[in-house]
Each structure stands twice: as structure tokens, then as C-alpha cells.
Amino acid sequence: MAGLRGRCLCGAVRFEGRGAPGGVTPCHCGQCRRWSGGGPFMPVHFAGGVALAEGAALAWYRSSETGERGFCSHCGSSLFWRRPGDPGDWAVSAAALPEGTAHRIARHVWVDDRPGWYDFTDDAPRLTAAECLREDGT
Ligand SMILES: [Zn+2]
Ligand SMILES: [Zn+2]
């Protein structure tokens, strides 16, 4: 299956998601909201992982014990989340994929961190931070 090509705002970072994209899992935690510049970070995983086409401008910020965030060092776009150093399973910002991509929301995570001034209208499951951590086995 052909992948979906994504990029940052300026185009210095380009990648291809391989295989089928999964559902979007908006994360409402404070780190994701601060990093994404407003609403939640809205990542998707690809069945076959992610291949970088142009990555010289890609930089990583270690935001916690368990995660680091990939961004374009030229334009600042928030692009990827991964376990530290993980070469394989990167979560990709749904917003970096082509316009018109038909995303569906699989579930919301860290919903108890969501501030009261925005909400979503979908009826996907909503997991609290405690439920997310339990699922990770941490
Ligand atoms: Zn860029
Ligand atoms: Zn988060």
C-alpha cells in the first residue's frame, strides 16, 4: 500500500507514513498542548512506520522520561513523538499529513488535563491519565 506523504510547514522535513494510518488519538496533556501551540497534539501511527525523505532539519526534544518530540528546527512545526531513541514506531502529527486526509478519532487520552475552554464533539472513548498509564504498564 502506498504511503501518505507528510511535511512540516516550510517543507524542510518530509516523510512518508507506510501502510495504513491508524485513528487519531488527541492527547490533552499539558505538555502536548504547550508543544502543539494550542489544542491537543493529534498523533497517528502507521502500520509500516515512518520513513524520512528529508530530515536534516529534524530536531528532537526530550520532554519526559518516556518520550521525545520531533520538530522542524527551521519552521518549528511539531511533527513526531517517540520513545527516546526509538528508530521504529513514531507517532506522526495528523496535521502534517496532506490536506483532505480523512482522519477519524480513535480515542482521546489524558482528558482530565483538558482545560474547560475547548472540547470535541465526537463520541470516541475518553481516557484519563490514570487509565493511559495503566494501559502502558507503567
Ligand atoms: Zn519546517
Ligand atoms: Zn500528551
Q: Could you give the domains of the chain?
A: 4-104 (2.170.150.70)
| 1, pLDDT greater than 80 | no
pLDDT tens by residue, 71-103: 999 999 999 999 998 888 899 999 999 999 999
| 82 CA distance to ligand 2 middle (Å) | 12
| 137, pLDDT greater than 80 | no
| 68, pLDDT greater than 60 | yes
Residues with a beta carbon under 5 angstroms from ion ligand 1: 8, 10, 12, 72, 74-75
* Mean pLDDT in residue range 34-46: 94
| 71 CA distance to ligand 1 middle (Å) | 8
Ligand nearest to the CA of 11: 1
What DSSP letter does each residue of the chain carry, written as one string? ---EEEE-SSSSSEEEE-S-B--B--B-SHHHHHHHTSS-B-EE-BTT-EEEEE-TTEEEEE-SSS-EEEEETTT--EEEEESTT-SS--EEEGGGSPTT----B--BBSGGG--TT--------B--HHHHHHHHT-
Residue with cell 504547550: 34
| 109, pLDDT greater than 80 | yes
Ligand nearest to the CA of 10: 1
* Mean pLDDT in residue range 97-113: 95
Averaged pLDDT of the chain: 94
Ligand nearest to the CA of 12: 1
Residue 85: the pLDDT is: 84
